[in-house]
């Protein structure tokens, strides 16, 4: 435990100074500020942020994460020759990746909203859900990036795989859903589509946000199914649980790869 | 201090260690010699737990290596090519390593830092330093915590003769203090002066292990370099005969 904290402290110092992380935080800051000025109310600004969140967070996290793990190779080798457990080092490095990116997002979005005194009773839930979804997506794609970097040794290949997974989950996925609905139009699709939502963390995050927004136009097909079958807070909980699993499963595979690999 | 029994390792389809057996006696300097790719570095990294053996057993005193990390408190390691996080200075690396090693070794051994006159460069980022300078920091780091076992992988490669001499003198002093040293090199004349025991590796097995006198006697040569060259030739002939 002690060692984990030391590693986290070191990585935090390192990553927070990274200009890409700073730029990432500034991006959310400026975007939220602009949306508040143009759109007016907090719910409308958050609504506009939704698509930025579900597209940009996975992209930045998976790319930055893959580069981060390959870049920390030297640090890893240095520490593993010391009395440091591989598990402790892994958890420390993972926290050193996910915490700064999450903090950049949370601060970037909430600071303008708080400055505009935009938090009211009804917008508070929405803001919290938005922050939860963003942090969850950061954890999920941080875990996927960790797994990629642990399995694919070549830096460029790993980056290619990362971009491929991002493209599949954000862009190709909608096509797949569409194809499914058309191809099986004459059968009941609710249950299969509900199951499919859980197969894609990006979709889960989108559902998590749209469930509370009452805007069926933004939901998409899976969101509508989700809302009908698991409406209300049970749906929210299910989505959060799905996202937690999406962090845990790739993360555990990555941990196993990290423990057995040769340095 | 170290007992290795039947250690096997392959990287993909390439066999590196093929049933290696080796005993390293406490308080001695053991030289691991052998041609490139004979498995010297892989053996070192297995002892450190950086590489996992496919089969076999390594004991560190009475502790069987099993993925636990505690025993590494007692090892100082000088890798062949030191790779450090780019933006750190020598001082950062040293305090970082000291930090994860916990309190135990409170008295640092700064002798090599002084002898190599590293003081002025310790605060510069390591990426700005020359290879030789990094190698000196690397050496100073390995000796910093008065570890019971020192594993030095090609320690004199990239060092100028004066620095190499300082390092070898330091190795002798550490042996007098009761520490155990495993040192690899393919520049055999380098080890001639310091090694008590020689282990000759070829194709991932130890072909000869014993004191340098035994090695000289068994090959009938007067110098260590010749004796090891003899072993290599014998090994090569055996390889052809197979």
pLDDT in tens, B160-195: 889 999 999 999 999 999 999 999 987 666 777 788
Is A20 near chain B, with CB under 8 Å?
no
Which class is domain B2-241? alpha beta
Cβ atoms of residues B151 and B182 within 8 Å: yes
Sorted by where each begins, the domain ranges of chain A are 2-168+246-260
Tally the C-alpha atoms within 13 A of residue B148's C-alpha that lie toward its C-beta: 12
Biggest distance spanned by C-alpha atoms of chain A: 62
User: A–B: how many Cβ contacts below 8 A?
Assistant: 63
| Nearest of B27, B71, B16, B80 to residue B47 by alpha carbon | B71
A10 contacts in B (CB within 8 Å)? 96
Q: Which residue of B12, B85, B92, B134 is the best one to mutate when testing the A interface, meaning the one whose CB has the most A CBs within 10 A?
A: B85
At residue A6, the pLDDT reads: 82
Six token digits for residue A93: 């490095």
| H helix and E strand count, chain B | 8, 10
Classify residue B62 by burial, with Cβ atoms within 10 Å: 0-12, 13-18, 19+: exposed
Q: Which among A6, A75, A77 has CB closest to B99?
A: A6
Pairing of strands B55-60, B75-78: unpaired
Give the pLDDT mean for A11-26: 84
Pairing of strands B205-211, B149-153: unpaired
pLDDT at residue A262 tops 90: no
B93 contacts in A (CB within 8 Å)? 78
Name the band, by pLDDT with cuts 50, 70 and 90, for residue A160: very high
At residue A214, the pLDDT reads: 63
Cβ atoms of residues B120 and B83 within 8 Å: no
pLDDT at residue B105 tops 70: no
B67 contacts in A (CB within 8 Å)? 86, 259
State whether B85 and A82 contact (CB < 8 Å).
no
Task: Kindly report the backbone phi and psi dihedral angles of residue A134, in degrees, each rounded to the nearest multiple of 5, phi listed first.
Answer: -65, -45
3 state DSSP class of A244: helix
State whether A73 and B83 contact (CB < 8 Å).
yes
State whether A72 and B85 contact (CB < 8 Å).
yes
Name the band, by pLDDT with cuts 50, 70 and 90, for residue A111: very high
pLDDT digits (tens, 9 = 90+) for A120-131: 777 888 888 899
**Helix residue spans in chain B (DSSP H):** 40-47, 90-100, 111-115, 131-143, 161-176, 188-192, 212-219, 224-241
Six token digits for residue B69: 């990390």
Q: Which among A74, A84, A260 has CB closest to B84?
A: A74
What is residue A169's DSSP assignment? I
Output the average pLDDT for chain A: 86
- Cβ partners under 8 Å of residue B5, min gap 6: B21, B56, B57, B58, B59
Task: Kindly report the backbone phi and psi dihedral angles of residue B50, in degrees, each rounded to the nearest multiple of 5, phi listed first.
Answer: -75, -30
3 state DSSP class of A261: coil
- B/e letters for B114-132, b = 16+ CB within 10 Å, e = fewer, are ebbebeebbeeebeebeee
pLDDT at residue B104 tops 70: no
Q: Which among B67, B71, B100 has CB closest to A3?
A: B100
ipTM of this predicted structure: 0.83
At residue B242, the pLDDT reads: 45
- Cβ partners under 8 Å of residue B35, min gap 6: B186, B202, B232
State whether A81 and B71 contact (CB < 8 Å).
no
At residue B65, the pLDDT reads: 85
At residue A219, the pLDDT reads: 60
3 state DSSP class of A139: helix
State whether A82 and B100 contact (CB < 8 Å).
yes
pLDDT digits (tens, 9 = 90+) for A248-258: 999 999 999 99
Name the band, by pLDDT with cuts 50, 70 and 90, for residue B238: low
How many Å apart are CA B61 and CA B221, to the nearest integer? 34
- Cβ partners under 8 Å of residue B69, min gap 6: A83, A84, A85, A86, B49
Cβ atoms of residues B47 and B60 within 8 Å: yes
| Nearest of A201, A195, A192 to residue A165 by alpha carbon | A201
For residue A33, the Cα-to-chain-centroid distance in whole angstroms is 22
Give the range among A39-43, A67-71, A228-232, B56-60 with minimum mean pLDDT. Answer: A228-232
Sorted by where each begins, the domain ranges of chain B are 2-241
Give the pLDDT mean for B11-15: 88
How many Å apart are CA B84 and CA B36, to the nearest integer? 24
pLDDT digits (tens, 9 = 90+) for B38-49: 888 999 999 999
Six token digits for residue B182: 């495993």
pLDDT digits (tens, 9 = 90+) for A184-240: 888 887 778 888 888 999 988 988 888 776 665 556 666 777 776 666 778 888 889
At residue A218, the pLDDT reads: 59
A259 contacts in B (CB within 8 Å)? 67
- Cβ partners under 8 Å of residue B214, min gap 6: none
Q: Which of 67-126 (A) contact B at CB < 8 A? A: 72-75, 77-86
Query: Rounded to 5 degrees, what angle do the CA atoms B221, B226, B227 make?
Result: 60
State whether A14 and B85 contact (CB < 8 Å).
yes
Question: pLDDT: is B241 or A22 the higher one?
Answer: A22
State whether B87 and A14 contact (CB < 8 Å).
yes
How many Å apart are CA B127 and CA B144, to the nearest integer? 21
How many Å apart are CA B159 and CA B155, to the nearest integer? 8
- Cβ partners under 8 Å of residue B124, min gap 6: B89, B90
- Provide, rounded to the nearest whole percent, the portion of chain B with pLDDT above 70: 93
3 state DSSP class of A231: coil
Output the average pLDDT for chain B: 85
Is B49 near chain A, with CB under 8 Å?
yes
Give the pLDDT mean for A129-135: 93
Give the pLDDT mean for B152-156: 89
pLDDT at residue B213 tops 50: yes
């Amino acid at each position: 435990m002690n060692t984990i904290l030391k590693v986290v402290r070191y990585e935090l110092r390192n990553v927070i100074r990274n200009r890409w992380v700073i730029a990432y935080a500034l991006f959310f800051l400026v975007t939220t500020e602009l949306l508040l000025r143009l759109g007016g109310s907090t719910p409308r600004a958050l609504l506009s942020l939704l698509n930025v969140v579900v597209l940009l967070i996975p992209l930045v996290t998976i790319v930055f994460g893959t580069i981060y793990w390959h870049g920390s190779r030297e640090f890893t080798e240095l520490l593993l020759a010391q009395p440091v457990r591989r598990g402790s080092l892994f958890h420390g490095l993972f926290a050193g990746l996910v915490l700064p990116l999450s903090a950049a997002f949370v601060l970037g979005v909430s600071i303008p909203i708080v400055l505009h005194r935009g938090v009211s009773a009804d917008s508070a839930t929405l803001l919290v859900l938005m922050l939860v979804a963003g942090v969850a997506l950061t954890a999920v794609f941080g875990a996927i990036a960790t797994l990629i970097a642990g399995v694919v040794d070549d830096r460029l290949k790993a980056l290619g795989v990362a971009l491929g997974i991002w493209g599949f989950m954000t862009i190709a996925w909608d096509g797949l859903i569409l194809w499914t609905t058309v191809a099986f139009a004459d059968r009941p699709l609710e249950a299969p589509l509900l199951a499919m939502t859980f197969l894609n963390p990006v979709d889960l995050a989108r559902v998590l946000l749209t469930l509370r927004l009452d805007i069926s136009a933004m939901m998409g097909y899976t969101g509508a199914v989700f809302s009908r079958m698991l409406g209300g807070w049970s749906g929210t909980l299910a989505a959060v649980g799905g996202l937690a699993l999406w962090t845990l499963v790739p993360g555990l595979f990555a941990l196993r790869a990290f423990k057995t690999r040769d340095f | 201090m170290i007992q290795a029994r039947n250690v096997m390792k392959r990287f993909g389809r390439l066999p590196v260690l093929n049933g290696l057996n080796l005993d390293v006696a406490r308080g001695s300097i053991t030289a691991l010699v052998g041609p490139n790719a004979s498995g010297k570095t892989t053996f070192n990294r297995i002892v450190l737990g950086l590489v996992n053996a496919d089969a076999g057993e390594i004991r560190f005193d009475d502790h069987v290596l099993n993925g636990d990390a505690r025993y590494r408190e007692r090892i100082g390691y000088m890798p062949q090519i030191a790779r450090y996080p780019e933006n750190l200075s020598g001082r950062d690396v040293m305090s970082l390593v000291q930090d994860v090693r916990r309190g135990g070794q409170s008295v640092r051994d700064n002798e090599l830092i002084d002898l190599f006159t590293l003081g002025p460069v310790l605060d510069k980022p390591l990426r700005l330093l020359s290879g030789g300078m990094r190698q000196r920091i690397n050496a100073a780091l390995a000796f910093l915590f008065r570890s019971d076992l020192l594993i030095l992988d090609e320690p004199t490669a990239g060092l100028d003769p004066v620095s190499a001499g300082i390092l070898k003198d330091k190795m002798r002093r550490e042996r007098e203090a009761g520490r155990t040293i495993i040192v690899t090199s393919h520049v055999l004349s380098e080890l001639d002066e310091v090694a008590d025991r020689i282990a000759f590796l070829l194709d991932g097995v130890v072909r000869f292990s014993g004191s340098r006198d035994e090695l000289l006697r068994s090959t009938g040569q007067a110098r260590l370099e010749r004796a090891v060259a003899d072993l290599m030739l014998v090994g090569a002939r055996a390889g052809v005969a197979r």
